[in-house]
Amino acid sequence: MKKYVAFFVAAAFLLGSPLLAVAGEYYGKQKVVYHVNYDDPKQQAAAMRNIQNHINAVGAENLDLRVVMHGAGVSLLKRANDDPDFQSKVINLKAQHVGFKVCNNTLVGKKIDYESDLFDVSKADIVPSGVAELAKLQAEGFVYIKP
């Protein structure tokens, strides 16, 4: 039984040792795009939590991270206008160089004025099409994540 236990301790050590290395070194540089097209506030808040955990693991300096919002997902930045919890989450992520990109098709289709209806959006944050942006970023080597 002793040898049996020793075998697993050794195996666990061998498998686990890379995790002990500095997180940034272990994961290297990453380009990631997060896709948000849903209105559910719980799901949106969870997505922002995921992103923060992702940054914690990889390091903001190693990440080029964008959030692409379109369709119902644009409501995330509407909520950030009214809901202090959403607002602080967005401010914190932006401080760590997360880009929040908004789909122009959605703005036009839903008659949303990004200056008054959405939290802290400038012209540079508007992309012509959310879907096309997701395709373009993936072609540029970004990894797609839908939380």
CB 76 within 8 A of CB 83: no
Sorted by sequence, the CB contacts under 8 Å of residue 7 that are 6+ apart come out as: none
Angle at 93 between CA 133 and CA 103, to 5 degrees: 25
Between 126 and 145, how does the x/- string for binding to other proteins read (CB under 8 A)?
Answer: ---xxxx-xxx-xx----x-
Contact window for other proteins (CB under 8 A) among 12-20, 35-43, 56-64, 87-95: 35-43
Between 55 and 74, how does the x/- string for binding to other proteins read (CB under 8 A)?
Answer: ---------------xxx--
How far apart, in Å, are the Cα atoms of 78 and each of 30, 48, 54, 56, 57? 28, 15, 24, 26, 28
Name the residue nearer to other proteins (CB basis): 97 or 146. Answer: 146
* Binding-site ranges for other proteins (CB under 8 A): 1, 3-4, 7, 35, 37-38, 70-72, 105, 109, 129-132, 134-136, 138-139, 144, 146
